[in-house]
Amino acid sequence: MAAIKKVVLAYSGGLDTSIILKWLQEQYGCEVVTFTADIGQGEELEPARAKAQAMGVKSIYIDDLREEFVRDFVFPQFRANAVYEGEYLLGTSIARPLIAKRLVEIAELTGADAISHGATGKGNDQVRFELGAYALKPGIKVIAPWREWSLNSREALMSYAQQHAIPIDFAKAGKKSPYSMDANLLHISYEGGGLEDPWWEPEEAMWRWTKSLEAAPDQAEYLELTYERGDIVALNGVRLSPAAVLAELNRKGGEHGIGRLDLVENRYVGMKSRGAYETPGGTIMLKAHRAIESITLDREVAHLKDELMPRYASLIYNGYWWSPERLMLQTMIDESQQVVNGDVRVKLYKGNVMVVGRRSEDSLFDASIATFEDDRGAYNQKDAEGFIRLNGLRLRIAAGKGRRLI
């Protein structure tokens, strides 16, 4: 195997990826290029530059990907109403293909022959990063330190850091959250710590984005979302960029205690994992999008989308964003969204998102037909008799042959 001369590392600036940076330099004797993505995690990223420079890194990329993340990844996912295992809005999953894409782009820009990430060998992220990278650059080499090294405990990592003079902020380390957390503009997730006991209820102090139901306002708030081709383009009549839309929905949803989830999910690698999630903006988006679709989509188109959605969601969860089957499904979904235009009014109150109004120039809702009042001949109720008899024909034939159901 050819020697690795240069590797692009997905680098957060934290202890783990700083150790990985040094380990790559030592183990592979190669130049390390660092890449830090701003996808709305709400942390100061410039300190990552200083840390990388202190460790001898010459090529440092810190990229603001917030708009691309929401426009090209989050919005397409919500056009599909994607939910994994009935509850999870895929907040971590949907960020990984973007990071993989940028890792590959930087590898090409810098002439690197490998990329590296800090995902462990137990989780889904290793699969998502690597499937994305292979789909976009088949010959790329991937280095996953957690599958190679012997540093398999927090104590071993701390010892390695001290031996190699990697700065450790002991004040912060002492205050470190007991949870493994991941944040971006769509969500924040929590794993580990007390959550490893599925019976244990997380303490209120764990949650960072959302108020408790008890602390949420006693007054409801109304919000109007404007859609064009399935995407939100304005809130309360004010046009906003995709990232600004999601940030504002997060703020409003979090204020009203919307978007908390406690879930035991099935990881792609085979184990069950318990996680807690805060997805306030996404929770509002899903509810509102289904509402605008309810008046603009043809019945069979809507039902077909619902049938395909679990497969689409699994593709994202399992790391197949760049697969031909996901792209095929996306083309179909996006075509359906050409008529998904209009406004949805929602009421936010104590953790609930209630749709209270929807309107569209492309609406298929016809009040003259649906009315319980005099429809003036718009619908002939006698037509239903033949419709029912024809649809019941096979049932009557089977019953006539003695095929009893009870």
Question: Which residues are designated catalytic?
Answer: 16, 96, 125, 180
What are all long-range contacts of 322-326, with beta carbons under 8 Å and residues at least 24 apart?
322/97, 322/100, 322/101, 322/131, 322/132, 322/135, 322/136, 323/131, 323/135
Q: What does the chain come to in residues?
A: 406
Contact of 48 with 62, CB cutoff 8 Å: yes
d(CA 213, CA 205): 14
Place of tokens 């989050």: 74
Evaluate the CA torsion angle 372, 374, 376, 377 in order and state its sign. positive
Contact of 359 with 224, CB cutoff 8 Å: no
The 188-191 sheet, strands edge to edge: 180-183, 188-191, 272-278, 260-266
d(CA 135, CA 355): 40
Place of tokens 């490998």: 114
- Of 316, 51, 4, 315, nearest to 148 (Cα)? 4
The type of residue at 40 is G
Which ranges in 89-209 belong to alpha helices (H)? 96-110, 125-136, 154-163, 170-174
Cβ count near 37 (within 10 Å): 24
Q: From the DSSP assignment, how many helices (H) and strands (E) are in the chain?
A: 15, 14
At residue 318, φ and ψ (nearest 5 deg) are: -90, 0
At residue 185, φ and ψ (nearest 5 deg) are: -65, -20
